[in-house]
Structure 1
Amino acid sequence: MGRGVYWCTSCQQELPLTHFGTDAGRGGLPRGNCKLCQGIVTRASKHKRSFLDVHLLFEYQSYKCAICPVVHAHGDGLHLDHDHECCPDKGESCGQCIRGLLCWGCNGGVLPWYERIRGQAPPYPPLESYLSDPPAAALGLTTAPSGSE
């Protein structure tokens, strides 16, 4: 390990220290995962998926929201969307109904609104396309039907 760099245990790369958060519990030393990998680990754990599953989604979507064209450097601001109608426990993801990575505006605003009015208003093609063929399904990462009525 050279000066100013650190090894990420997830992506197995030596990266600049600026790519790592620090761990106060370890005296301010860099965390074991770079910020991107730590975000993937967090999303994967929350949705009961593997690191590789979520990493594949990031790569497949080119670090962009699956609905709008906004690119998110290092995956910052992208949320792992899942079909809330599928999961029996409110707020908990079963892990089988993940759909894709969405920005906050799409995940927290546009998509939930559209799902509530779906079938009562004219279809909106970008959202219909996402719901009928989400990125996770295209990668074979989901077993639950998503967006079906």
Structure 2
Amino acid sequence: MEKNIRQVVAAVIEKDGKVLVARRKPGLVAGGMWEFPGGKVEDGETAEKCLERELEEEMGVRTRVGDLLCSVPFSGALMAFELLVFRTELLSDSFRLTDHDEIRWQAPGDMVEALFSEPDRPVVQILAGRGDRREMRRGEPGRPA
């Protein structure tokens, strides 16, 4: 089976030294796992607009996407993609969850890597100061740093 290579986006939303994380609902892909919220970039859509759309659709919040924090290449059994992680500002905080059953603000040092979906684990390591920055690229998507 040929893997589709696409872009997926995720938000690092910080408040008072903590980061917003969300747990996927059971029954969904990666159900029960924690993640940095986001989604798949659709054809003709910028990564930034995608992230704003996904956060509004899945969490009911308005956001402003900031700088690209990093990009993480991921290759799994069924698909390969580039995870683009953006620093994101929360403009509203009245959450309405559709794809998640819980959200929490968590200090990076308290995040348990094994509880996160596999593509998000390098981001957990970096935020907590435990990871190897060589796993992640900084700068423009699709280009090595």
TM-score, normalisation: structure 1: 0.24
Structure with greater Cα Rg: 1
Which structure ranks higher in relative contact order (CA pairs < 8 Å, sequence separation ≥ 6)? Answer: 2
Structure in which a larger fraction of residues adopt helix: 1
